[in-house]
Chains A and B, each alone.
Chain A
Amino acid sequence: SQELEQSPQSLIVQEGKNLTINCTSSKTLYGLYWYKQKYGEGLIFLMMLQKGGEEKSHEKITAKLDEKKQQSSLHITASQPSHAGIYLCGAYTEYGNKLVFGAGTILRVKS
């Protein structure tokens, strides 16, 4: 079965600093989703990547998909307290009918 490993498990950054979260798949990625979750709340869709080398940005968050490495990265520029939360990557399995998730990366931003 497909597994997604996220790193780091958690990180604390000073407000204004940049950071990167990685998501590595045990199998070929056919699409990679990034979600954000606040404690006690549901998942908020951030962006989806489908093609190798694809890069998308939303405000100060940029995600890239490297199919060769079966990896995706999420980069936050000039972090703010509003960026704090749990970032989860998810990917559809080969047959496109089941979304599996990583365990999440907990981000804390110190102001």
Chain B
Amino acid sequence: EAGVVQSPRYKIIEKKQPVAFWCNPISGHNTLYWYLQNLGQGPELLIRYENEEAVDDSQLPKDRFSAERLKGVDSTLKIQPAELGDSAVYLCASSFSAEGDTQYFGPGTRLTVL
């Protein structure tokens, strides 16, 4: 069974440029998560989707970050414009449901903003 797929794995951009990350969850998983992981820290939740509905986006900086999960499968996380402080690893995870289920993570996208 394929795991969570993310692309790209690495991205280097200039500040003020836009960037987008893509995630394909494990087949059959209804809940999808985007996390931000800074160096030396654990992942922090940005947004959680249940099917196509964003049910927790309280930690998403909405002035520059946006996300979508069309048709309740793949998801895209976008930053526009990127700032130096956005350099981090962006992780996508999925679970069968949101009620305390085990979350399975993708390999992440390492973003460097110059």
A-to-B contact residues, CB < 8 Å: 4, 30-31, 33, 35, 40-45, 48, 88, 90, 92, 96-104
Contacts and interface: CB of A to CB of B under 8 A. Distances in A.
Interface of B: 4, 6, 33, 40-45, 48, 56, 89, 91, 93, 98-100, 102-108, 110
Nearest to B33: A99
B4 A103 contact: no
Contact of A45 (B33, B56, B102, B106): B102
With most chain A CB atoms within 10 A of its CB, the pick from B91, B100, B103 is B100
Contacts of A88: 42-43
Given A42-B91, A42-B105, A42-B107, 20 more contacts: A30-B100, A40-B110, A41-B107, A42-B6, A42-B106, A42-B108, A43-B43, A44-B105, A45-B103, A45-B105, A88-B43, A92-B100, A96-B99, A97-B99, A98-B48, A99-B33, A99-B103, A101-B42, A103-B41, A104-B42
A48 B33 CA distance: 19
Given A33-B102, A48-B102, A96-B99, A104 B45 contact: no
A102 B43 CA distance: 8
Contact of A97 (B93, B98, B107): B98
A21 to B, nearest CB: 13
Contacts of B100: 30-31, 92, 96
Contacts of A100: 42
Contacts of A103: 40-42
Contacts of B42: 4, 88, 90, 100-104
